[in-house]
Amino acid sequence: MTDLQAEVVVIGAGPAGLHAAFYAAWRGLQVRLLDARGEPGGQLSALYPDKRVYDVPGLPATPAAEVVAGLVRQLDGLPVTWHLHTLAHGLSRVDGGWRVQAQTPAGPGTFTAKAVILAPGMGALLPREARVPGEHPDVRTDLPEPATLRGRRVLVVGGVPQATRAALELSEAGALVTLTHRRAGFRGRPAELEALGAAQAGGRVQILAPATLNALSPGAAHLTVNGESQTVPADTVLVLNGYLPDLSPTLGWPLDWQGEYVPDGPGGTTALAGVFVAGDAAQSGGDFKLISVGLAQAAVAANHAAHHVRPELKVRPGHSSEKRLG
Ligand SMILES: Cc1cc2nc3c(=O)[nH]c(=O)nc-3n(C[C@H](O)[C@H](O)[C@H](O)COP(=O)(O)OP(=O)(O)OC[C@H]3O[C@@H](n4cnc5c(N)ncnc54)[C@H](O)[C@@H]3O)c2cc1C
């Protein structure tokens, strides 16, 4: 089992975790950023990438996906290592810091650091299970690298923005795509919905909706479309039904959890020295589960973490406008 070292491990790549990673790395610390999902952005990218957000300061009426893109871009050039598809489930004290146990794409692994910033939001956003009767050898709930499905007949099931995006990306990568949903409409950003319409008109994506997916069999899916039975050839079935939050992997950590909240002191400190909390999970935010609040908590927690890791660094960061990268 590999043990990866860092100065700070950030758990959760939602807005709070992304900004915490930014600030810790901006202060010069080596950061490892973990998320259970395959893409960053937390609730914004999992639950509402297509919706506009109106109350992030400085970004009026901005699609959630663009808010995330900006937070991710802000990490460019900074010492942040990404670990996606990585679910943190254990925390233990080690000499001089903390060890996080995690399930990684390569199997069980650990991350050791002097400080941990916990930004788990509502919990690990895990894909809803694909509950479809019948046997099929290749049913997935997460979009793989699209090029790996080139030339395959792929049935994408779902109306969420990820289903629209998957249909487009797979078709662009050379898969033969059928998109189906129990309702007539699909969610997505206006440009994506327009591209989907064009792909359908051009015969690059077949759309069957509203439709009921009744069963799977090897190489095929059996649907009811407009009251008629229809069998669609499918080498791969990709069921994208959204995400459900799961806090249980971290709820057992001795942080004096109060329901879904970790009590936090000034600076995002918790009951464990060197473990900080920010975002929706920080109790100090109370009912204000907002991006702007999480970003502020993240800035404060990351700067306290920086001082904890390297006491020679002041807690106060100074003004970024007076500093330059590199
Ligand atoms: C539909 C909807 C609309 C919203 N609209 C707005 C709005 O307009 N304005 C606004 O300010 N707020 C809005 N919010 C709230 C806002 O999205 C949240 O306040 C914000 O996402 C919280 O950020 P976070 O980083 O704390 O947590 P999250 O965004 O929840 O991110 C947490 C991340 O941590 C990961 N994670 C959790 N546990 C683990 C683990 N054990 N191991 C690895 N990874 C883990 C999760 O997979 C997730 O990616 C909205 C929320 C919803 C659901």
Q: Which of 162, 112, 123 is nearest to 142 (CA)?
A: 162
Q: State residue 324's pLDDT score.
A: 62
Q: Which of 167, 159, 126 is nearest to 143 (CA)?
A: 167
Among 43, 66, 162, the mutation site with the greatest number of ligand 1 atoms within 8 A of its Cβ is 43
How would you class 126 by CB atoms within 10 Å of its CB: exposed for 0-12, middle for 13-18, buried for 19 or more? middle
For the segment 214-242, what is each residue's pLDDT rounded down to a tens digit? 999 999 999 999 899 999 999 999 999 99
For the segment 71-121, what is each residue's pLDDT rounded down to a tens digit? 999 999 999 999 999 999 999 999 989 999 999 999 999 999 999 999 999
Query: What's the gap in Å between 166 CA and the centre of ligand 1?
Result: 22
For the segment 52-64, what is each residue's pLDDT rounded down to a tens digit? 999 999 999 999 9
Q: Is 3 annotated as a binding residue?
A: no
Distances in Å between the Cα of 55 and the Cα atoms of 215, 229, 285 are 43, 47, 16
Residue nearest to ligand 1 atom 44, measured at CA: 35
Could you give the angle at which helices 190-201 and 161-172 cross, rounded to 10 degrees? Answer: 50
Q: At which residue do the structure tokens 């090897």 appear?
A: 218
Ligand 1 interacting residues, C-beta cut-off 6 A: 11-17, 34-37, 42-44, 47-48, 53, 55, 87-88, 119-125, 249-250, 279-280, 289-292, 294
Q: Are 287 and 274 in contact (CB under 8 A)?
A: no
Indicate the range of 44-48, 252-256, 317-321 predicted with least confidence. 317-321
Work out the mean pLDDT of the chain and round it to a whole number: 96
Domains of the chain listed by start with CATH number: 3-126+243-322 (3.50.50.60), 129-239 (3.50.50.60)
Query: What's the gap in Å between 120 CA and the centre of ligand 1?
Result: 8
Residues 276-303 have a mean pLDDT of 97
Residues 13-26 have a mean pLDDT of 98
For the segment 176-217, what is each residue's pLDDT rounded down to a tens digit? 999 999 999 999 999 999 999 999 999 999 999 999 999 999
Residue 2 pLDDT grade (very low, low, confident, very high; cuts 50, 70, 90): confident
Q: Which of 248, 284, 249, 279 is nearest to 263 (CA)?
A: 284
